[in-house]
Amino acid sequence: MASEDLIGEYIFGEIVEQPAIVARHGGAPLPPWPTAARRVLLAGAGDSLCAAELIAGLYPHIEALTPMAASAAASSLEEGDALIGISVSGRTPRILEACRRAAARGAHTVAVTDDPDGPLARGADETWWLGASPPEAVGSTDYECPQARQYVGYHHDVAQTKTFLAAVTLLARAREGGAGSTDWGRLAGTIADLVAPAFYERLRGPAEECAGAGAAFFLGGAGTLPLARFAAYKLMEFNRTAHFADIEEYCHTHYFVTRPGSAVVCVIDDADAGRRAGEIVGVLEELLEARVLVLCTADAAPPEVPAHRRIEVPAAGSLLERRLALVVALEWLTYLWGRVDAPDVNSFHGGYDTERLVAGTLRTIRGSRVVVEPTTMDGERAP
């Protein structure tokens, strides 16, 4: 039975909906991955960038670039290459720009979106539907401000969670085809276990302890840095100061701006990163009085870290299955953390001047008039 205080909160509903999303994608026809492509470029912003980076880290011969870099790189694509643009709303300017430029070079373009009638889908050679938002919700919003009302394409006007998992699941199924290593039935079952009260109630105490931190640092290992980025994004969307870094890079740079009482979360699914976490946890607690957590798959749990500082996630199977299990745990942690003292957890930014913030975001993002000129491989302007 779900906790009574969470029922009715949109983000809670999005998290518990995720097993159904995985099951739906797991049983759907396989999207046609461009297997013959010489070069495959994934382009996305925000959560979509995190999804692209996670996929590129799991499967060979895939590039994932930030939006501006992807837009610039599209000018080097050729016939026989492919660009997969990820935009839930189908309106992200740099992703639209990258797809236009890739198409102009003769590359194959794919739109990954929740709006099959949006501008991204209309300009692509083919469209893969995310299926995170009901079709009737894609074109509407609850915002009243005329500028903020442009924020459409999402199920709810809150910090998104399920769109990330939907994008990763869709892309992974396409890339693996019919002979991949992921057991989709087992994955859906694992996520169903992780969205149950028996799991997320254990995260309440650590989340509420972290909520008083002045800043948060999410540290990733070799394959979990996209997860650390995703977690930092979720907290920033709740009006919290958050950073992400490679766990070793943190020790060289971010460590020096970690103030007493900061929260540090290590996201671990391999032995090397687990050993590194085991080395730094005691130092962070002793010298900085940091609130340290190690979120890890059970087989990568560093024994040097005290049990009360470890959150072990039961996971089995492929790396994809293990990392998506960590994603769900991070969603719970950042949601339970961010909702503490939020004036309105059912609105974007936790209710802090929400419509003004969204209106400004739309002006800085979708109102952008930046156009990167197509260039040749030598840097000259293309004809």
Can you give the pLDDT of all 383 residues of the chain as single tens digits? 468 899 999 999 999 999 999 999 988 999 999 999 999 999 999 999 999 999 999 999 999 999 999 999 999 999 999 999 999 999 999 999 999 999 999 999 999 999 988 999 999 999 999 999 888 888 888 889 988 888 888 998 888 899 999 999 999 999 999 778 899 999 999 999 999 999 999 999 999 999 999 999 999 999 999 999 999 999 999 999 999 999 999 999 999 999 999 999 999 999 999 999 999 999 999 999 999 999 999 989 999 999 999 999 987 789 999 999 999 999 999 999 999 999 999 999 999 999 999 999 989 988 888 876 654 433 344 43
Would 224 be classed as within a structural domain? yes
Would 356 be classed as within a structural domain? no
Together in a domain, 17 and 146: yes
Structure tokens of 14? Answer: 């999005």
Question: Do you know the residue count of the chain?
Answer: 383
Of 107, 110, 147, the residue nearest 129 (C-alpha): 110
Together in a domain, 131 and 202: no
CA atoms in the 13 A half-sphere facing the CB of 336: 22
Backbone dihedral angles phi then psi of residue 381, each to the nearest 5 degrees: -65, 130
Together in a domain, 284 and 220: yes
Together in a domain, 171 and 201: no
Separation CA 332–CA 353 (nearest Å): 24
Together in a domain, 245 and 151: no
Number of structural domains the chain divides into: 2
Separation CA 206–CA 55 (nearest Å): 29
**H-type helices in the chain, by residue range?**
10-16, 18-27, 47-58, 67-73, 93-104, 119-123, 162-176, 184-194, 197-200, 204-210, 225-236, 247-252, 271-288, 319-338, 354-364
Nearby residues of 289 by Cβ (< 8 Å), 6 or more positions away? 260, 261
- DSSP of 55-92, one letter per residue? HHHHSSSEEEE-HHHHHHHGGG--TT-EEEEE-SSS--
Give me the pLDDT at residue 373, please. 60
Give me the pLDDT at residue 135, please. 84
Together in a domain, 23 and 166: yes
Tell which of 176, 209, 232 closes a domain.
176
Would 358 be classed as within a structural domain? no
Would 353 be classed as within a structural domain? no
Separation CA 60–CA 78 (nearest Å): 20
Tell which of 176, 208, 227 closes a domain.
176
Together in a domain, 130 and 166: yes
Together in a domain, 169 and 307: no
Identify the CATH number of the domain in which residue 290 sits: 3.40.50.10490
Together in a domain, 221 and 284: yes
Would 149 be classed as within a structural domain? yes
Element of type H or E holding 263: strand 263-268
Would 117 be classed as within a structural domain? yes
Structure tokens of 345? Answer: 């957890």
Together in a domain, 158 and 204: no
Instruction: For residue range 39-72, list pLDDT tens digits in order.
Output: 999 999 999 999 999 999 999 999 999 999 999 9
Separation CA 326–CA 115 (nearest Å): 28
Tell which of 146, 176, 206 closes a domain.
176
Together in a domain, 215 and 321: yes
Structural domain of 239 = 197-338
Single pTM value for the model: 0.94
Would 192 be classed as within a structural domain? no
Instruction: For residue range 138-193, list pLDDT tens digits in order.
Output: 888 888 998 888 888 899 888 889 999 999 999 999 999 977 889 999 999 999 99
Together in a domain, 214 and 304: yes
Would 18 be classed as within a structural domain? yes
